[in-house]
Chains A and B, each alone.
Chain A
Amino acid sequence: MSALPLPRIRRPHRPRSERVDALWAMFRRLLGIPVVLFALATLVFIAMRLLPGSPTASLAGGGTNLTAEEIAQNEARASKALGLDQPLLTQYGTYLDNLVHLRFGESFFGSNSVLSLLGDALPGTIELTLAAMTVAVLLGVVTGVIAALRKGTWIDTTTRTVATVSFSLPWFALGVIAIVVFGVWLRWLPVLGRLPSSLDYHPTTNFVLLDAILQNRFELVGPWIQHLILPATTLALSMAGYITRIVRASVLDVLGDDFVRTARMKGLTESAVIRRHVLRNSWLPIVTVLGLQFGSLLGGSVITETVFSYGGVGRLLVQGVLQRDYPVVQGAALAIALLFVLVNYAVDMLYMILDPRIRKG
């Protein structure tokens, strides 16, 4: 079977050969990754060039006191400098050749290398995503477990209702409201960016936490967390509701399993049963879902990034499309897709390796 392995709640014992099959499937999927990325690169390449509007028109327009003729000359010059005067097929060939040699090109607007732009944008996005997921998992697991243990009671109903509402929240308005309440009215938290302007920060890796350690500047950590709270919580709220549901279902499922019954019969306390058996066996679906979420957050938190002026890869992508900055869009799309594919692949591997039911099999 080719697709991602199917996480199942009720998984029959698998014979060893099935496990080998599964490993083989994973290996084949690994081989498929470059194919998928190549197809994606090609699609984005074509799509960008099919778009109306050209980067050179924008570049050449820098001076509208010029005559129409002078603008046309400017445009031709820019077009030549950027290689856009070549036939499309030649451009595509050049692009693929560069790609194979891991050259991702330069932005049309200022010649920044795409890699350095990604180096500026990705860390912010990854920080934000991980922080949001941490909050979401904490919230979601606690509420999910409680709801499962109190199944059928008002606690359960309320939790599930709140969870459903929270993952339906119009997250686009949520950030704006959070800013008004916590930033403007209460003035508890900063509303802009990753660090205060007054802090002198020279990125090494651009991951603030990592840099704080590398540069031995732990005074960065406090302000960094302050700046992270609002955007991360905004993103996390909707995710948490969703995790609550998964955790609840997953825990309920495991609670019905034989080994839990056995554990209880052995006289283990309820909390020990939950810690040692239930949670350990119900986190797999959670991880799988988180993998997918991670991917969609990478390219997807455009609004959060914009509202909180949190320079990230989502905005880089959107801005690239609007400016018709082909190399930036191509590079950013590829980077997002690569991370998405790798993270999900890793999750599936983890799933296979750690699934107790497979391991025991």
Chain B
Amino acid sequence: MPDQSQGTPALRPAEPQVSRRTVLRGASLLGVGAGFGLTPLLAACGVADDGSEKSGGGSGKGGTLTLAIDSTSAVNDPAFYTTLGDWMAVDCICRGLTFISFESNEPTPDLAKSWKISDDQLTYTFTLRDGVKFHDGTTLSSADVLATLNRQFDPENKTLPKGASRPLASLGNNVASLTAEDDLTVKLVLKAPDRTVLAQLSDIGGRVISKAALDKYGSGIGKHLVGTGPFKFASATSGQSITLEAFDDFRLGRPPIDRLVLRQVQDPSAIVSSLLSGDVSATQFTPYSAVEQLKSDPSVTVHDTKEGFDAILMIDARRVPELKVRKAINLAIDRKAIVQQAFFGVGSEPDGYAIPPAQNGYDTGLADLSTKNLAQAKKLLKEAGAEGRELGLMAASDSWHPKAAQIVKQNLEDAGFKVKTTSVDPASYFSRLSDGKDDYHDLMIWERNSYVPDPNNMVGSMANPAGLYGSTITGLDTLDGVDTMAEDLLEAKNLPVGKKRTAAYSRIQRRWAEEYMVIAMLACSTNLVVSGADVKGINTAALGNHRCFMEKASV
């Protein structure tokens, strides 16, 4: 899908982040039973224009922008993922040291006006912008940064709510020290080089909270979040909505709208209807099936955002031990049908294997790794003596997953497998993934999304034998010779962005696919961003990645 909303992609490596999609999913996706039929996990996030009461005041045009969200727990805490919608609010309330606009993939200065990286790539010295105001009136200083990041790095931090997921925990494990040189200088020392640090700090987990507010509210900060972002927290009702108000002293100027309301809308048809009726004027959770309908309706705009996530089929190598059989599975898949029927054309075939078009390192030279060849599949299956092999296929019951599962089931049966499928509510899905003894653990359909577009975030996570995918889910770590994969990955991660790095990742991916084939790529897609025709200035590229930058939006 062509990307119109994105500028020239910067060829600088942004580093991988916690995959948002996975976080979501892991975080028990909102249990909203999409799978359970009605509510797609990923509920809608849209901008709705209420029409009424375009309030004046302030510098902009005013008015209320309503974003439909998947769900809200009325807790907005950068150290605790609860729902996508809650985190979109965090994204509006707080800003980080660095910023990635998604229109470019490059980290740019935000609260840090500049930084120095030592030659050994271990020491990062950030100089903070002077005079940045928090919503509570305090001024940004290094104490705020330390207080914020220490919540991420230290599991015993007193301001963490119970069960906090600390999205930057893995960065923390690599941090030797974090200190304030003076009021406006912060020094971060790593144990091992990591070129993804600047990108990770731009993610929601790295968003800076007012220390005064942290001292005041402690672990209850999620109900009173105070940051430096364009919108300040006004109120939140669990299961219903979050209301934010424009912040007059925002560093880049007061946003044009007065109020930003994030409203929970879970039913897919309700999302479409409310976009058309104007109750919601934008969302990235639009059901794919509605794309044609919405494109033909002049009252809404369907935005083309670049494909940023992978739809994947994970194969447990412990239960499907023959490489030939795993390759046969990969060869049987009809990706065209998946793109057309499960994603309704909003997507593309995975020509760059695990790296989607929106990210640096996309290499169509890998297209042969994901082609359909039924005859070859049957041949491999015969050679392995595995005709009629019975496979269990598990998919979450929300969004595109059940449909992709039906297509894959048919493809595999055409190749000579017997397939039994089960669809699982998303909350159970994550824990069943982690249970290698589950009846349906042979094949699992999932997705990999990233907040920050970088090969390390996709390949680095999924091909790492010690990672969740490599060990618990696919058993890659039990296969011969994988030790060198981890080393190659580390090396590729710390190469500067450019041809060399792309080549390194392509090499790794080819080997990963040809020698192991534990993850078959199904498609690349994006979250479908749709807005009311009168809504202007929303960052659709970011919204397509569940990031919410509404400081320029107007209604």
Contact = CB atoms under 8 A, between A and B. Distances in A.
Direct A–B contact in the complex, CB atoms closer than 8 angstroms: yes
Interface residues of B, number: 92
B18 A65 contact: yes
Nearest to B262: A197
A230 to B, nearest CB: 11
B237 interface: yes
A70 B173 contact: yes
A56 B30 CA distance: 14
B91 interface: no
A51 B166 CA distance: 26
Contact of B77 (A110, A117, A190, A322): A110
B263 A309 contact: yes
Given A111-B161, A198-B50, A58 B431 contact: yes
A198 B81 contact: no
Interface in A149-189: 176, 179-180, 183-184, 187
Interface stretch (A71-79, A281-289, A290-298, A346-354): A71-79
A199 B53 contact: yes
Q: Which of A59, A318, A319 has the most CB of B within 10 A?
A: A319
B32 A319 contact: yes
A190 B74 CA distance: 24
Contact of A311 (B75, B237, B276): B237
Given A197-B64, A309-B266, A316-B239, A183 B279 contact: yes
B155 interface: yes
B434 to A, nearest CB: 6
A81 interface: yes
Contacts of B472: 68, 71
A294 B77 CA distance: 37
B149 to A, nearest CB: 15
A325 B278 CA distance: 34
Nearest to A108: B163
A191 B259 contact: no
Contacts of A187: 277-278
Contacts of A198: 50-55, 63-64, 259, 261
Contact of A197 (B39, B263, B461): B263
Contacts of A223: 52
Contact of B170 (A52, A54, A63): A63
A51 B467 CA distance: 27
Given A65-B170, A198-B52, A319-B32, A184 B273 contact: yes
A194 B243 CA distance: 14
Contacts of B235: 202
B239 A180 contact: no
Contacts of A58: 26-29, 427, 430-431
B340 interface: no
B230 interface: no
Interface string A84-120: 0000000000000000000000111111100011001
A321 interface: yes
A34 interface: no
A115 to B, nearest CB: 12
Q: Which of A193, A199, A202, A203 has the most CB of B within 10 A?
A: A193
B26 A64 contact: yes
Nearest to B467: A67
A325 B28 CA distance: 10
Contact of B273 (A107, A111, A180, A318): A180
A62 interface: yes
Given A59-B27, A306-B267, A121 B81 contact: no
Nearest to A313: B239
A57 B237 CA distance: 26
B220 to A, nearest CB: 8
B452 to A, nearest CB: 11
Interface in B282-322: none
Contacts of A303: 38
A191 B26 contact: no
Interface string B32-58: 110010110000000010111111000
A196 interface: yes
Contact of A192 (B29, B239, B270): B270
A316 B237 CA distance: 12
Contact of A191 (B170, B270, B457): B270
A112 B74 contact: yes
A37 interface: no
A52 B431 contact: yes
B71 interface: yes
A315 B38 CA distance: 11
Contacts of A324: 28, 427
Nearest to B21: A64
Contacts of A202: 235
B163 A78 contact: yes
Given A190-B277, A323-B427, A62 B166 contact: yes
Q: Which of A71, A109, A200, A316 has the most CB of B within 10 A?
A: A109
Given A67-B467, A322-B425, A309 B265 contact: yes
Nearest to A60: B165
B71 A319 contact: yes
Given A192-B274, A319-B71, A57 B434 contact: yes
Contacts of B162: 78, 81-82, 106, 108, 111
A59 B18 contact: no
A56 B430 CA distance: 11
Contacts of A65: 16-19, 170, 457, 460-461, 467
A120 B74 contact: yes
A67 B468 contact: yes
B502 interface: no
Interface string B416-449: 0000000001111011101000000000000000
A322 B238 contact: no
Contact of A110 (B63, B75, B277, B432): B75
Contacts of A312: 239
B75 to A, nearest CB: 3
A121 B73 CA distance: 12
Nearest to B173: A70
A65 B19 CA distance: 7
B222 interface: yes
Contacts of A112: 73-75, 238
B114 interface: no
A208 to B, nearest CB: 12
B352 to A, nearest CB: 20
Contacts of B263: 192-193, 197, 309
Interface of A: 51-71, 74, 77-78, 81-82, 106-112, 116-117, 120-121, 124, 176, 179-180, 183-184, 187, 190-194, 196-200, 202-203, 206, 223, 303, 306-309, 311-312, 315-316, 318-325
Given A59-B165, A63-B170, A197-B48, 4 more contacts: A51-B428, A65-B18, A67-B471, A309-B263
- The 5 A-B pairs at the shortest CB distance, nearest first, are namely A61-B26, A62-B165, A322-B31, A58-B28, A110-B75
Interface of B: 16-19, 22-23, 25-33, 36, 38-39, 48, 50-55, 63-64, 66, 68, 71, 73-75, 77, 80-82, 86, 155, 161-163, 165-167, 169-170, 173, 219-220, 222, 235, 237-241, 243, 259, 261, 263-267, 269-270, 273-274, 276-280, 425-428, 430-432, 434, 457, 460-461, 464, 466-469, 471-472
24 contacts: A53-B431, A59-B163, A61-B26, A61-B468, A62-B18, A62-B81, A66-B467, A66-B468, A69-B466, A82-B162, A106-B162, A110-B73, A111-B222, A112-B75, A183-B279, A184-B276, A187-B277, A198-B53, A199-B52, A309-B264, A311-B240, A315-B266, A324-B427, A325-B31
